[in-house]
Amino acid sequence: MNIVSKIDDWQAIRKTLTHQKIGFVPTMGHLHAGHLSLCESAKRENDVTVMSIFVNPTQFNQKNDFEKYPRTLENDIELLRAQQIDYLFAPDEKSMYPDDYAFQLHETAISRELEGEFRPGHFNGMLTVVLKLLNLIQPSRAYFGEKDFQQLVLIKKMVTALFLPIEIISCETVRAEDGLALSSRNSRLNPSQREKATQFPELLTSAFSLPQIREQLTSAGFKVDYIAEKWGRRLGAVWLDDIRLIDNISLEKV
């Protein structure tokens, strides 16, 4: 696996890959089985596989959340070597934002509801960095998990709106044995929080109405940001103490 941290170095490498299909998996690191499943799909469907690791500061609307986000680059590299990924692109903040975030990408409808309502500025940062990464990597296909479903919807619409010649591949959410959707933030849960957290996906997949799910979660000690149904999914975001969890399930499974 080749590790590339400088943008100029990657651009030089990219010029040598003109006749190959490139599969791209953008991440913020602290990799788990969900990320690795995206890598497996990318490897299976392309000639070259590229993963990026970049903890993007502009999509964190709380400085505390950005500072607490787990960074495990050495372990991530070992996991990717075992996966036989071709390239890891791991730039620093200065390289990705030479303009100090003066240029931003804004979406004016979907980004203002659900996650956008409770995380102002989050989707501006996410879309801006994803566009930068897609422009740099120039993949044939890019792979995103369905756990961040609103993000996935926005990225697909961005690629269409901006005429990017890239296929966005959505991959099913990978879950732990207890049903909790895999997330880098799960590592912050202590054992008692982890046990309680499993009630979240259980209630999302239940036959309860949305108000009933909210009431059950609140009674169990969660702070609920939203429970909603859109895009054929039931989506939710909750707080368990100072840890925020999001999840969604297909309405076909309710």
Distance from C-alpha of 47 to C-alpha of 22, rounded to nearest angstrom: 6
Residues 14-61 pLDDT 10s = 999 999 999 999 999 999 999 999 999 999 999 999 999 999 999 998
In order of start, what are the domains of the chain with their CATH numbers? 2-171 (3.40.50.620), 184-248 (3.30.1300.10)
Residues 143-172 pLDDT 10s = 999 999 999 999 999 999 999 999 999 999
Backbone phi, then psi, for 227, in 5-degree steps? -130, 125
Q: Exactly one of 19, 35, 106, 122 is catalytic; which is it?
A: 35
Please compute, for residue 254, the number of CA atoms within 13 A of its CA located in the half-sphere on the CB side.
Answer: 17
pTM for this entry: 0.96
Clarify whether 19 is annotated catalytic.
no
Comparing CA positions, the residue from 133, 234, 145, 233 lying closest to residue 183 is 145
Comparing CA positions, the residue from 23, 67, 31 lying closest to residue 169 is 23
